Structure 1
Amino acid sequence: MFGIIRPCRNRLGPELREAWMAHLCGLCLALRDDHGQFARVVTNYDGLAISAMVEAQSDAGTGRRAAGPCALRGMKTADVSFGRGARLAATVSLVLASAKVRDHVEDGDGVFAHRAARGVGRRVASRWADQAAETGADLGFDTSVLVEAVRRQEEVEAAAGPGSSVLLVTEPTETATGEACAQTAVLAGRPGNVAPLREVGRLFGRLAHLLDAVEDLEADRESGAWNPLTATGTDLTEARRLCDDAALGIKLALREATFTDDRLVHQLFVHELKTAIGRTFGDPHSHQPPPPPGWRPEPGMYPPPQQPYQGNTYGQYAPPPVPPAGAPGGGTPPGPPKPPKKGRKNPKQPGPGSFLWAWPKLVWPPHGRNALAGCLAVLYQCGTCQYCCRDPHPGPWSGKWRDGWCNDCDCDCGDACCCDGDCCGCDCC
């Protein structure tokens, strides 16, 4: 999973925010309970969506337990998810992490250039894969489907070239995520949901792969690393079209499934994915309420023509019709698109950090770490609450600057947001 679902606390609102944190903590604890403390390093935002999907299809009031104090929760207790949903999320996360470590070993990246380190890496990858397979068997889920999909990724990338469809490159990811999401329906006892949720997972895998490629495009060009967009000659306009189509397909497929309570799943897979697309492609964010149904702009309500945004490489954006401030849903027209947030182009160098936050250092341009050093950085950053409170903090493997979880908000409403997670004017249901 790629970590593209990063909800803002103001968009979620108190109830959904509590539910989201319950699944995040539940995934972390499931990894610990089934696979040991070290396995917690593979905890990720997107993996918890699997747990949320299982709960959304299950009977209300099940799948929660009390958990003890944790540093990442400010040493507070909390109700967390547990059971089959959390274990499935942990299994999927562990399989993909195992594949990533194995790829580093085979490529001889960083510390794995040494024979002894390669041996350690192979043992870690094999152990994680075996543990995931054992847990998957307990859940009735054959993890070999995921392993085979990941294995084919290298073959697909080697065969891709100019003129190839980028969707050929994303197909293994689509297969893996599709099977994982379909299994949530099996665990929840909803056989009628298998097909639509497999489609949700397949399109989510496509979207995640494409957004990851767009975010890494500039860095990959500078380093000469392989990127699916560059390799297939896919421009950003086409990538955006594919992302928008995938998001729409997810929204429609979710309508075909039956849920007990789909609020969190809908928020994550519809609204947060839409936000992720906008964040990646540099769309402006706005909390303006939409016009009422049936509203049409009158002559003179359109904003004056504007020049294309200077330096925009993602196509020319024309401002949409915006009602005047006095009209229903009125407000000021949005400004030009902002450049992508991820990567922080030429940021101001912050202080070196002090005490527990003196390592890992923030440097520009970012310096990557090998797999072993990255794992150590994850453990240290988790233990010192850097993911939550240090803003910015370096990515453990890439060294890229990341926003702190407590500050990673795409809106400018701050704590005074009045929308309470319901500002989108959603008419999806």
Structure 2
Amino acid sequence: MFGIVRPCSHRLGEGLRTQWMAHLCGLCLALRGDHGQFARVVTNYDGLIISVLTEAQAERSAGWRRTAGPCPLRGMRTASVAQGEGARLAAAVSLVLASAKVRDHVVDGDGLLARRPVAAAARRVAGKWDRAGASTGADVGFDTAVLLDAVERQEGIEALAGPGTSLLTITEPTETATAAAFAHTAVLAGRPGNAEPLAEAGRLFGRLAHLLDAVEDREADAAVGAWNPITVLGTSRAEARRLADDALHGIRLALAEVRFTEGKLAHALLVHELGQSVDRAFGTTSCGHAAHEVRGASGHEVTAYDGSGSGSSGSWGSGSYGDGSSYSGGNHRGDSYGGGDYGGSGGGNHGGSGGWGGEPQKPRRGFWAGCAVAIGLCCTCQLCCAKEYEGPWSRKKREGACRDCDCDCCDCCSCCD
């Protein structure tokens, strides 16, 4: 499972954490129910936000939850999980984007996919996911062609990019795709008036997903010569952080215009946890360290940690988080949910520029080797229960979704009351 929004249980609290897990399991089971067991490998933390937004806007009914049977990822416990059109839309989006990423990986000839028989098998899997996603999207009234168009345009935009190109030009296809998916949740929930602000929130979320994926994978991409927009465009750390902070602020403003029935979880994920994701990517926060509250220059209250890098300027520092937001994070081609591509492409060794620094990452596993490791992690419940495990593709350190967290509780802003 991948994604940029990976909430910590102590910040969500028991109630919101239970709801979050209901949507995560609901996405996974929607993939299994419509498309078979193997489709569950595209389950991701950011995709479930589609399900969360749909339910947050809709009037409450008895059909939004069902009791799921025992699952190894839940320690063989039953659970109440989300179901319905929101979960199916999230599944459709996840499938189409995963199919596009597999195709990119095949074109690049990365790892085992450089071998023709393996590449042919991967193309068949990608084609199956593409058709399945389009079918499910059609069932809920969403045209997945907008997602495929974004992925196809991304490659051409990157081929023409160079020093002087705006980073927002690179992120535009991702923004367009996520805007369409977010806006359609208003249609499913019967709240057409929410479509415009949700499209704006989705556009900015797509910008952050693409940007943070590039920031987190910059050193690893440089090590293998993979294409990375931060490096190729010569974007400074300060400018990247400014764009991220502006997107966060825009998402908060857009969500304030959305009419929710019950929007507490959506707010927690898209405001508080997304802010944590930005800090994690830039190495300015660490969940397990003692924190003290400080007032930022803009007047917003922020959390600072001893020994971490500064917020938007100064030396880069390695940070406390090495976990990535993608399966392998090679190319950054239009992944609307922060996944990155499964592997990198050629294009020379784009060395690091001053001020970014960081510890080198372990070599990433190939697609099929990562799949084997992921199956092992699932069968041993480490994805869910381990305090820390190594990402199957990226080999970066990650935390289990249901692990116990012993760090200090964070205060929530007044708009969550």
Q: Which runs of 4+ in 1 moved over 6 A?
A: 308-313
Tell me by how many angstroms 1:366 deviates: 1.9
Q: Is the 8 A contact 2:205 2:247 kept in 1?
A: yes
Pair 1:63 & 2:59 matched: no
Match of 1:162 in 2: 163
Output aligned runs, 1:112-191, within 5 Å.
112-191=113-192
For residues 294-327 of structure 1, the C-alpha deviation after alignment (integer angstroms, 9 at most, x for no partner) is x9xxxxxxxxxxxx9798795249xxxxxxxxxx
Match of 2:46 in 1: 46
Output aligned runs, 1:91-110, within 5 Å.
91-110=92-111
Match of 1:241 in 2: 242
AA partner of residue 369 (structure 2): A
Tell me by how many angstroms 1:373 deviates: 2.3
Q: Is the 8 A contact 2:283 2:309 kept in 1?
A: no
Match of 1:426 in 2: 414
Pair 1:26 & 2:26 matched: yes
Match of 2:407 in 1: 412
SS in 2 for 1:424: coil
Match of 2:322 in 1: 343
Tell me by how many angstroms 1:407 deviates: 4.1
Q: Is the 8 A contact 1:203 1:246 kept in 2?
A: yes
Match of 1:380 in 2: 376
AA partner of residue 143 (structure 2): D
User: 1:425 & 1:125 partners in 2: Cα distance?
Assistant: 43
Q: Is the 8 A contact 1:92 1:132 kept in 2?
A: yes
Output aligned runs, 1:326-341, within 5 Å.
339-341=318-320
Match of 2:313 in 1: 315
Q: Is the 8 A contact 1:290 1:425 kept in 2?
A: no
User: 1:47 & 1:408 partners in 2: Cα distance?
Assistant: 24
Q: Is the 8 A contact 1:174 1:202 kept in 2?
A: yes
Output aligned runs, 1:239-318, within 5 Å.
239-284=240-285, 315-316=313-314
Tell me by how many angstroms 1:214 deviates: 0.9
Q: Which has the higher contact order (CA 8 A, sep 6+)?
A: 2
- Identical counterparts, % of pairs: 59
User: 1:128 & 1:377 partners in 2: Cα distance?
Assistant: 21
C-alpha spacing 1:95/1:38, structure 2 compared with 1 (3 Å)? same
Match of 2:399 in 1: 403
User: 2:309 & 2:252 partners in 1: Cα distance?
Assistant: 33
Q: Is the 8 A contact 1:283 1:338 kept in 2?
A: no
C-alpha spacing 1:408/1:246, structure 2 compared with 1 (3 Å)? farther
SS in 1 for 2:27: helix
* TM-score for both structures, normalised by structure 1: 0.80
Match of 1:7 in 2: 7
For residues 312-343 of structure 1, the C-alpha deviation after alignment (integer angstroms, 9 at most, x for no partner) is 795249xxxxxxxxxxxxxxxxxxx9742332
Q: Is the 8 A contact 1:366 1:401 kept in 2?
A: no
Tell me by how many angstroms 1:365 deviates: 5.2
Output aligned runs, 1:364-375, within 5 Å.
366-375=362-371
SS in 2 for 1:46: coil
Instruction: Count how many residue pairs are aligned between Structure 1 and Structure 2.
Output: 368
Tell me by how many angstroms 1:399 deviates: 2.2
AA partner of residue 412 (structure 1): C
Match of 1:394 in 2: 390
AA partner of residue 342 (structure 1): Y
AA partner of residue 233 (structure 2): T
